[in-house]
Amino acid sequence: MFPGQGTQKAGMLRELGKEIDAVGEVFEIAAEATGRDVRSLCLTAGDAELKQTQNTQLAVTAMNIAYYTLLTRDGARPDIVMGHSLGQFSALYAAGVFSLFDLFRIVDKRARLMSQTQQSGALCTVLGLGLPQVQEICTEADPTGQRLSVALHNTEQQVVVGGLPEEIERAEPLFRDRGAIRTIPVRVSNAFHTPLMHEMERGFSDFIHSVPMHEPSCRVILNCKGDYAEGVEDIVRDMTLQCCHTVHWYDGLRRLLETPDLLLIECGIGKVLAGMMRNTDAKQTVYSASNPKQRMQALQLMQKEAEA
């Protein structure tokens, strides 16, 4: 499970300690693909620099793949992958859909197009209401669905809405009046996964169709579909839709949980996805690849399973 934008923090590469050398090739390929010093972004960039979309997305992707590299170095191989928003591209690399070089090219293109979008927007997390209630309020506030809509459905009662800042400001009291526990502004630069990003969709779609793609080597749960990919065409369609359509993460989690005997690992900084899983099925343990002790525990469990 690969996290997305928002997991970045200043100096995050230092957390790898002596293992930095083991992931050096990730940053070399990132630099070759993008012409950017992604290693420095993850090592010395401050919070303000990392919050810029064109920097955030490259840095988060590099850290996701750094931790994935450590896992595969020690023998881990995925049976199922999924990634939250930006993290979906890391997941597709892990499934062998495209090369590491092309992963960074795709993420760099996506980030640049998002940064160049003229229409400004915002995201806001609504806690304590289900998807139908949030959708109903969004429709009341904006019947067109163009200025306010659901961007991400993360857990049963954690829904992120996106749109024009003034529309979100008007809708927040409605969410609270209908029973929302809290509404929390999301610290991003635009209304990702909403119609406000429509102007980037064509350019991103054209670029993706120019990248060599391969059928996945394992099962992939897609963001907008909220279900397993049926092949590379399904994957390409979802990557394009993701620009300005809802991410159905909660549906994807429920589909994942139909598989018995899961060993779940969050490949990236922190434990955001572990929290979403805990709110969906508290019985499931999600091991954090960025925690050396938990990473070792997960690898040991894999080894025991392989030997059984």
Give the position of tokens 């996964």.
Answer: 193
Catalytic residue among 193, 245, 248, 288: 193
At 269 the three-state DSSP class reads: coil
CB 289 within 8 A of CB 266: yes
Residue 124 burial by Cβ neighbours in a 10 Å radius (0-12, 13-18, 19+): buried
Q: Can you name the residues that pair with 80 across neighbouring β-strands? A: 219
* Backbone CA torsion sign across 29, 34, 40, 43: negative
Residue 17 burial by Cβ neighbours in a 10 Å radius (0-12, 13-18, 19+): exposed
Catalytic residue among 85, 90, 189, 288: 85
Residue 79 burial by Cβ neighbours in a 10 Å radius (0-12, 13-18, 19+): exposed
Q: Nearest 5 degrees, angle CA 92-CA 12-CA 262?
A: 45
153 is catalytic: no
- Residue 147 has φ and ψ, to the nearest 5°, of -105, -15
CB 30 within 8 A of CB 38: yes
85 is catalytic: yes
Per-residue tokens: 193: 């996964």
Cα distance between residue 294 and residue 64, in whole Å: 16
Give the position of tokens 């010395």.
Answer: 44
Q: Give catalytic residue positions.
A: 85, 193
